[in-house]
Amino acid sequence: MVKYLNTNDTNFNHNFNDLLFQNRNMENDVSSVVKGILKNVKNNGDQALFDYTEKFDNFLINNNTIQVNKQEIQDALSNCNDDTLKALKLSAKRITDFHIRHIPENDQMTDDIGVKLGIRWNAVEAAGIYVPGGKATYPSSVLMNAIPAKVAGVERIVMVVPSPNGYLNPLVLVAAYISGISEIYKIGGAQAIAALAYGTETVKSVDVITGPGNAYVAAAKKEVFGTVGIDMIAGPSEILVLADNKNDPSWVAIDLLSQAEHDEMSQSILITDNKAYADKVVDEMKKHLKNMPRADIARASWENHGYIIIVSDLNEAPALINEIAPEHLELAIEDCQKVLAKIKNAGSIFIGRHTPEAIGDYIAGPNHVLPTSGNARFSSGLSTLNFMKRTTLIECDAESLAKIGPSAMILAGEEGLDAHKKSIAIRLGKKE
């Protein structure tokens, strides 16, 4: 059952640490299997992809059918109803408009002794987008991963998506079309990550891989990091709602369930200063669960990983939130700005009673690919920066080199790097 914690209890710190350090990630349990898959794809290329797709997705593919063709994309567009297409296009526009504001600018300066210094930003040449296709299908994930890459200037964007029993959700293809992706492969799991990282006869390798997936995908991304860049190791989804008793408990209940329905390992946390109100939220959750299509998943998540934390005063909440560093944080309280100023660690913050987390998943504009498992302490959500790299620029003339060169020679000498020292000295006309 859901666990209640109270900051006034003598064992609160012990129980709170249990919350902080529990491991809901499964990648360590599958790492040996994943390593075998990666090695097989690296050595055997397309044939390994064909074999794994038949084994795990019960779907036969070959060189001619592994890639989604133009007709399949057109069929998906033709079968998409107008309202859904409009919603996807609105989402794409809002995501584009938000992310385009965060493209970093090149910079160049000349310092007071004449050395020219600068930074130049470039997009990576190719990006791979992983789109889940298991317990739920996420066209929104296509938009959130592909659009920042497109905005950043990535020329080649490749999408991989599993097709269990040969079925590929048409909305995923529609979202890919809207995002400008035309290179799509019907592969998933660790084998798809391997193909993107190492390349096969058919799938050309990429420079960066982004997108959430199951434990096998997470473990594979961890293994291939260094060969390619990755966005993050995404764990099960999380939400933390800070609520006072002035909220409709039914609203808070469904917000908590909005993350619980993702996966049995997802986590929903409520922090409030009113135990009676918390009990009302729990009662409302039970009512909602009666009518939810994914009730079994949501119930397992809430009962096994859910927490309710009772604080004596809402001013205690920011310190707890910063330690948890949740993926999603809702502030459903009277004075949001006062608390907001104290929050340092959260993937995305939803401010006010009328801002449910779900609005950020689809249409607000900021990215919904966010750090989980407390990683918001040191990591950020997906952005254009994940698809860009920074190159520094340095330019000396003879005069400026003469001013700083001797000091560099001293430091090179202290480190015992003679060629470093001489490469400067030779330009200064100094004999060693």
**Catalytic residue set:** 327-328
Instruction: Please list the alpha-helical segments (H only) found in 261-365.
Output: 275-289, 295-305, 317-324, 336-340, 357-362
The DSSP secondary structure of 49-95, one letter per residue, reads: HHHHHHHHH-----TTTSBPPHHHHHHHHHTS-HHHHHHHHHHHHHH
In this structure, the chain runs to a length of 432
The answer to whether 125 touches 207, Cβ cutoff 8 Å, is yes
Question: Quick one: tokens of 210?
Answer: 């982004």
Going by the DSSP 8-state scheme, the letter that residue 135 receives in this structure is S
The DSSP secondary structure of 90-121, one letter per residue, reads: HHHHHHHHHHGGGPPPPEEEE-TTS-EEEEEE
Question: Quick one: tokens of 203?
Answer: 């799938």
Distance CA 68, CA 28 (A): 32
Could you give the C-alpha distances from 123 to 103, 105, 149, 165, 211, in angstroms and in order? 10, 12, 8, 36, 18
Going by the DSSP 8-state scheme, the letter that residue 293 receives in this structure is T
The answer to whether 267 touches 162, Cβ cutoff 8 Å, is no
CA-CA-CA-CA torsion sign (412, 415, 417, 418): positive
Distance CA 181, CA 174 (A): 10
Point out which residues pair with 390 in neighbouring strands: 121
Per residue, the 3-state secondary structure of 6-49, as one string, reads: ECCCCCHHHHHHHHHHCCCCCHHHHHHHHHHHHHHHHHHCHHHH
Q: Could you tell me which residues come within 8 angstroms of residue 197 by beta carbon, excluding any fewer than 6 positions away?
A: 38, 205, 206, 209, 224, 227, 228
Q: Could you tell me which residues come within 8 angstroms of residue 114 by beta carbon, excluding any fewer than 6 positions away?
A: 396, 397, 399, 400, 403
Helix (H) or strand (E) holding 241: strand 238-243
Burial 164-184 (b: 16+ CB within 10 A, else e): eeeebbbbbbbbbbbbebebb
Going by the DSSP 8-state scheme, the letter that residue 136 receives in this structure is S
